Each structure stands twice: as C-alpha cells, then as structure tokens.
Amino acid sequence: MDTICVQSAQSSPSFVCACVSYRQDSGMAMWRVRDFHDDDLDAVIRLWDDPNAGDSEPVFTLSELVAAVRSNEPAVVATVGDEVVACAVAELDKDRAWLLRLSLSPDWRHRGIGSALLSGLEERMLAAGVQRISCLLSSGSEVGSEALEHQGYRSRSGVVFFEKLERVAPTDRGLLGQLGGRLLRPDLWDSLRGMAREKELIEQRVVLPLAYPEMAARAGLLPPRAIVLFGPPGTGKTTFAKAVASRLSWPFVELFPSRLAGESPAGLAAALREAFTQVSELDTVVLFIDEVEEIASLRGQSASSTTQGVTNEMLKLIPTFRERDGRLLVCATNSVRALDAAFLRHGRFDYVIPVGPPDAEARSAIWDRYLAEVPHEGLDLGAIVSRSEMLTPADIEFAARRAAQVVFERSVAGEPDAAATTEVVLECIATTRPTLTPRMIEEFEGDIEEYARL
C-alpha cells in the first residue's frame, strides 16, 4: 500500500537557500546542491529512467516530471564535478506542494545528499507560501524514505491511495468522438458468461499477446493485427469484439458500411479509405466491422464493378492497418463462405475463429446470468437448458426478459411474492422464435472444416 508523508511549515531546514551552493566532503569527492538548469535535463532524465535511482513504482510519470521542470516548478540537483548524481523536483498547488520524485545515483547514497536536496527544495517551496509538503512513495521504497525521515517528515498510516488512469489521450478524444467510438466499461470481459471455449480461445490467441507484447516478443510471437469471427446470427460475435476492447482497455470503433456509403458522395470505397485514415491517428484501437461480406464479397463475373472496387479497396487497406502496433481489426460475418478468398488469405487475417451456438454448459451459464435478476422459485435448470437447444445467447436473453415481464405483470395485478417458475420459463422458451435452424448448424459445422484458422 502507498504511504503519504507530510511535513508542516514549522520545520527548520538546515540550509539557508536552495539557490546557494552547498558543499560536502564525502571523503572521496566533493558534491554540491544547486538549482536545476535546463542543461541538466538529459542527465536528470537518465536518473528518472533508472529504477535503482528512485522509487521502483513511481507515482508520477516521466512526462509529468519533465513538464514540471519546464514549467519552472521547484527543482534542485546534486552534482559531483560536472556529473548530476541526484535530483529532487516538486509541484506547487497554492499552499500545498507535492514532492514528485527524489532520485539518487546508487553510488552516492548514505552521504547526506538526499537530506540536502530536500532542504534546498523546501526553502524554495516555503518562500512561495507553502504550508504543507506531501510525498507519495510505494510500499518498501528505499530511495527517499531515509531522507524524508531525517528531514522531519512523518508517515501517515491507514491511508489508501486511489488512482484512475484515463485510457484515451486528450489528443485522441475528439477524433474518437468523430468516429463514433467509445471506451467500454472495464469489466465487460469478466462479465461475459457462457461460451467458455470461444472465450478461452480468443483470450489465448488474441487478447494475451496484445496485452503482453514484450512477453510475446521474447517468445518470437507477433501479436495479431486482424481476425475474423464467423458463425450464425446472434451467437455473440459483436459481444466478443467489444469484450476484447474492454479487456485491452482500448477504444472501440465500429464502422457501418451502409452508413459510410450514404455519407460519402465519392462512394463506399472512398469512404472506407477516409475512415481507415482517421482510425490510423488513434494510438490504440479495436476496429470492428460487422457483416463484412458487404464490403469483401466474392469477386467474379456476377459481381458488379462497384462491388469489386470496394473489395479491392479493403484488400489494400488491411496491410496498411497492420503496420502499426496497438491496433486490432475484428471483422464479423454470418456467412464466411460469401467472403472473397483473397480477403481471408494469410497475411491479412491472423485467425478465422468460429463463434457457434452455445452448448449445454454455455446455455446453463447464460440462463443463470439472465435469471439471476428475476424473482424465481424451484427452477429446474436442466429442463430449461434442454428445451433451449436451438436458442442463441440473444434468444435466451429475450426469453428471460419475457419471464421477467410475466413476473412484473403478476406483481402489478396484486399477486404477492410473484416469481418465475420452471413452467413460466418453459412457456417463454416455447413462444420465442429461435434464430437457429438445423440447416444453419449443419452449414456452420461445414464452414468450420473449410474456413476456421485457429
């Protein structure tokens, strides 16, 4: 747990002014403390980058430290000859100041330099009207703790440090809004119930290499840049795409080909090119295209020149999209056999992943999720799962909503303790038109043999 160290304004620094040089005989060399100069920046950044010179898990980032010294916030350094061996920087906030970082070269520890740096920094802060100085250190931090204690700082026990990191840079927010993109809630992946096989496969093949690129590189694995999800309608392809974005904490942008075609007078191919150009400006992104067969259909004699032009454009856009890290293209289709063969070729898509109807275990998990919020009693989950064999996750959600509607209507009618029973749920299943048909399932199983690439 992080601790907060606080010093009051009544402390008496041992040093007259941070602007005055301070010299100390270390027994081997002379060091002195002085104000930070612009010429010191490169040397100071090397100290900040060295985990052995400061807190192993610093609270303030390198960019925040650079911004502070460039804004003339209080900063002092210790030098030996021309070498910068230590640095302390703070940030003022009216009558309060935060010590952002105290960094000290490992070869120069335990010589009083840290205490001298703090003294010099304090003089500048007190002269600016500061009454309280605070410092956040990670638990067990070696660098800085001793100097803080020597200077009269006290550790506050029982304090918990909360922090939230905004997942989109300010420069990306406007562009994300123009594209209709958004950040999805961070727990979406964990809340995804059922479809355990598909979830595990996507986690291993797609999510983990993107979440841990350094580990992937050490294994010689190139993280995926583009995948296709295929399967019958309603099986959760869009949900999986969103869950991947949530798991990675990347923005989610969905392109709608029909909408793009209507917005661009130059046609769909030009609109796609412009959309991909805009998306390329985002630092990270999951770009999702549903019903991708609309823009990557089979080319041939029966295809119009416009259709072939759109497919050709997509074939050119994907390699360019793949050139940068921090991005994933997810295309979904209900009819993988309708896609052009060149579109599915190795080098464009890393994986072609089937997302099929939920099996009994998955249906049980999905029913459990949706019925958890519905008052119920004595449910025979086995019978419910068995009777819903042809239902997709979307169908099950609809049937569960029907059961909730029955409970609601009975409550409004004055029935005390109204609850869904097995009979109620089975009746709701019977009145829900299933998305799947035996022929769809048969075709899907054939598509797995023909197209899946895992």
- pLDDT tens by residue, 45-70: 989 888 888 777 788 888 889 889 98
Give the torsion through C-alpha atoms of 266, 272, 274, 279, to 10 deg: 160
Share of the chain above pLDDT 90, in %: 50
pLDDT attached to residue 141: 67
pTM over 0.75: no
CA distances from 96 to 34, 70, 177, 381 (A): 23, 20, 36, 60
| 42-56, 310-324, 379-393, range with the lowest pLDDT | 42-56
Contacts of 314 (CB under 8 A, 6+ apart): 272, 295, 296, 343
CA dist 352 → 221, 228, 379 (Å): 18, 5, 38
- For residue 5, what are the β-bridge partners? 135, 155
Tell me if 64 sits within 8 A of 103, measured CB to CB: no
pLDDT tens, position by position, 344-362? 988 899 999 999 999 898 8
Alpha carbon distance 197, 195 (integer Å) = 6
Q: Report d(CA 45, CA 66) in Å as an integer.
A: 8
Give the pLDDT score at 29.
63
Q: Which CATH architecture has domain 3-156?
A: 3-Layer(aba) Sandwich (3.40)
In angstroms, rounded to a whole number, what is the distance separating the alpha carbons of residues 50 and 103?
Answer: 9
Average pLDDT, the chain: 85
Q: Considering only 136-145, 197-206, 353-362, which range has the smallest mean pLDDT?
A: 136-145
Please give the pLDDT value at position 16: 34
Beta bridge partners of 156: 4
* Residue 243: CB atoms within 10 Å: 24
The predicted-structure confidence for 177-192, as pLDDT tens digits, reads as follows 888 888 888 888 887 7
CATH of 360-430, one of 1.10.8.60, 3.30.56.10, 3.60.20.10, 1.10.3720.10: 1.10.8.60
Lowest-pLDDT range of 261-265, 309-313, 326-330: 261-265
Q: What is the pLDDT of residue 18?
A: 38
**Residue 20 to residues 17, 35, 104, 122, 210, Cα–Cα distance (Å):** 5, 8, 20, 13, 51
Looking at per-residue confidence, does 2 or 252 come out higher? 252
pLDDT class for 382, splitting at 50, 70, 90? very high
pLDDT higher than 80, residue 12:
no
Comparison of pLDDT for 170 and 132, the residue scoring more: 132
Quick one: tokens of 355?
């997302």
Most confident of 12-26, 105-119, 257-271, 388-402: 388-402
Any idea what the Cα angle at residue 428 is, between residues 357 and 399, rounded to 5°? 45
SS3 183: coil
How many of the other CB atoms lie within 10 Å of CB of 169? 11
pLDDT digit string, tens, across residues 255-303: 988 787 777 656 888 889 999 999 998 889 999 999 998 888 877 645 5
Main-chain dihedrals φ then ψ at residue 174, nearest 5 degrees = -65, -45
> Does 3 have pLDDT greater than 60?
no
Q: Which two tokens stand for residue 203?
A: 């986690």
What pLDDT does 207 receive? 94
Measure the CA–CA gap between 315 and 298, rounded to whole angstroms.
Answer: 12
pLDDT of residue 170: 64
What is the C-alpha separation between 60 and 136, in angstroms, rounded? 9
Q: Percentage of the chain surpassing pLDDT 70?
A: 88
Tell whether the model's pLDDT for residue 319 goes beyond 50.
yes
Whole-angstrom Cα distance, residue 233 to residue 439?
13
Q: How confident is the model at residue 166, as a pLDDT? A: 61
* DSSP-based helix, strand, coil % in the chain, nearest 5: 45, 20, 40
Residues 6+ apart with CB under 8 A from 404: 373, 374, 420
Residue 427 is predicted with a pLDDT of 96
Q: At what angle do helices 62-70 and 41-49 cross, to 10 degrees?
A: 160
Q: Which residues contact 262 (CB under 8 A, 6 or more apart)?
A: none
Is the model's pLDDT at 223 over the cut of 70?
yes
- DSSP codes of every residue in 34-51: EE--GGGHHHHHHHHH-G
Strands (E) located in 65-216: 75-80, 83-93, 96-104, 132-137, 154-156
**Phi–psi pair at 380, nearest 5 degrees:** -95, 90
Q: According to the model, what pLDDT value does residue 266 have?
A: 67
Laid out side by side, the sheet with 252-255 consists of 252-255, 285-289, 327-333, 226-230, 351-354
Q: May I ask the CATH architecture of the domain 170-356?
A: 3-Layer(aba) Sandwich (3.40)
Residue 5 binned pLDDT confidence (cut-offs 50, 70, 90): very low
Confidence of residue 243 (pLDDT cuts 50, 70, 90): very high
Please, where are the H alpha helices in 326-359? none
Lookup result for tokens 């896609």:
339
Q: Which residue has the higher pLDDT, 233 or 266?
A: 233
> What is the structure's pLDDT at 167?
63
- Most confident of the ranges 24-33, 53-62, 301-310: 53-62
Domains in the chain: boundaries: 3-156, 170-356, 360-430
Give the separation between CA 412 and CA 110, rounded to whole angstroms: 75
